[in-house]
Structure 1
Amino acid sequence: MNTIINADLHHPQHAQDLLMLLNAYASDRMGGSDPLSAFARANLIPELQKRSNVHAVLAYVDGQAAGFSICFEGFSTFACQPLLNIHDLGVLDEFRGLGLSKLILNHIEQLAREHGCCKMTLEVLEGNHLAKGIYQSLGFAGYELDPAMGGAIMMQKKLAASANSDDKLK
């Protein structure tokens, strides 16, 4: 039986499952192939608990943690409404092919609608064709304001890691 829930970051089992799933995702090729650092493992849940704009979702198959998403509420200035950014989304290898990603994304869409969000956003690697296909099948598309100007691209600028972090910045 598949179950999708809103994680309670103060619930010890939810927190443990979320960390385990995020670590598996980070260790996967699509997550950069590096497990979470000791610093991230020790501090992630307390840091997420401090933020009121975090929404975490857990997927269970027959009671086993199988997939997750971590989302952050943002704000669209053009629409003057909240938006929901799907920051992380992963399913453990042994549970892939069961449709969990679609179930998680449908759950997130309902959550976004309940919070009055005007849209959901996410990033996907160009080479992650399976994920892109799933996202497109659920209505996600590239972002552009004016076709003459082309689509938006994701950019980043890495900043120095803090002294108490052994993470390399992703």
Structure 2
Amino acid sequence: MTATATLSATIVRADYSNADHAAAIVKMLRVYAMDPMGGGEDLSPQVQADLVPGLAATPAASSILAYVGDEVAGLANLMTTFSTFGAKPLINIHDIVVAKDHRGAGVGRALFAEIETIAHEAGACKVTLEVLEGNAPAKALYASLGYGDYLLDPEMGKALFWQKRL
């Protein structure tokens, strides 16, 4: 377990076999799911039960937790994949959430600092994420950290993130 302290939070790389970490992951993903930016609905009991075992069974998955004191205050779920254009790993931030009571206090910045450390350790060429157009506070944070639209050719426009539910 690697832990890094900041002024506002202690960042821990989650161990999926650690019951406290598993509970914290589920708790924070529920916070995210119930937030308007996560869809506004709680995770089903089945998803809650399957979440951490599913992450543990996914070799590309990793999670980091932010604690303020003994309280879990943030979560980032990461997926390591491969950039064919860079011929190197890339890290996708699949989920990132900071509890409402801890927003604006540096917890998100601390999570991103650890994400970038993980990306450098993996030799990744980039870190990717998705953000809702209306999530102005998140977009401001991400932009302040150097994130921006995915654009190859301005004439072709920005990349869009699409999905098809199965």
TM-score (norm: length of structure 2): 0.93
The question of 1:151 aligning with 2:158 is answered yes
The question of 1:46 aligning with 2:53 is answered yes
The question of 1:33 aligning with 2:40 is answered yes
For 2:117, the aligned partner's letter is Q
Counterparts of 1:86-101 in structure 2, within 5 Å, are: 86-101=93-108
Q: Which of 106, 116, 123 in structure 1 is aligned with 2:123?
A: 116
Q: Distance in 2 between matches of 1:125 and 1:11?
A: 32
Unaligned runs of at least 5 residues, structure 1: 160-170
Q: Distance in 1 between matches of 2:52 and 2:158?
A: 35
Q: Distance in 2 between matches of 1:49 and 1:143?
A: 30
Which sits farther off after the overlay, 118-127 or 37-46?
A: 37-46
Unaligned runs of at least 5 residues, structure 2: 1-7
1:124-168 Cα offsets, whole Å, 9 max, x none, are 000000000100000101001111111111111111xxxxxxxxx
The question of 1:70 aligning with 2:81 is answered no
Q: Distance in 2 between matches of 1:13 and 1:157?
A: 34
The question of 1:125 aligning with 2:132 is answered yes
Q: Distance in 2 between matches of 1:42 and 1:153?
A: 32
Give the equivalent residue in structure 1 for 2:5.
none
Superposition RMSD on alpha carbons, in Å?
0.8
Compute the displacement of 1:56 (Å): 0.1
Compute the displacement of 1:23 (Å): 0.5
For 1:51, the aligned partner's letter is T
Q: Distance in 1 between matches of 2:20 and 2:88?
A: 33
The percentage of aligned residue pairs carrying the same residue is 44
Q: Which of 1, 6, 12 in structure 2 is aligned with 1:5?
A: 12
Compute the displacement of 1:66 (Å): 0.6
SS at match of 1:149: coil
Compute the displacement of 1:99 (Å): 1.1
The question of 1:57 aligning with 2:68 is answered no
Q: Distance in 1 between matches of 2:59 and 2:17?
A: 13
Aligned length: 159
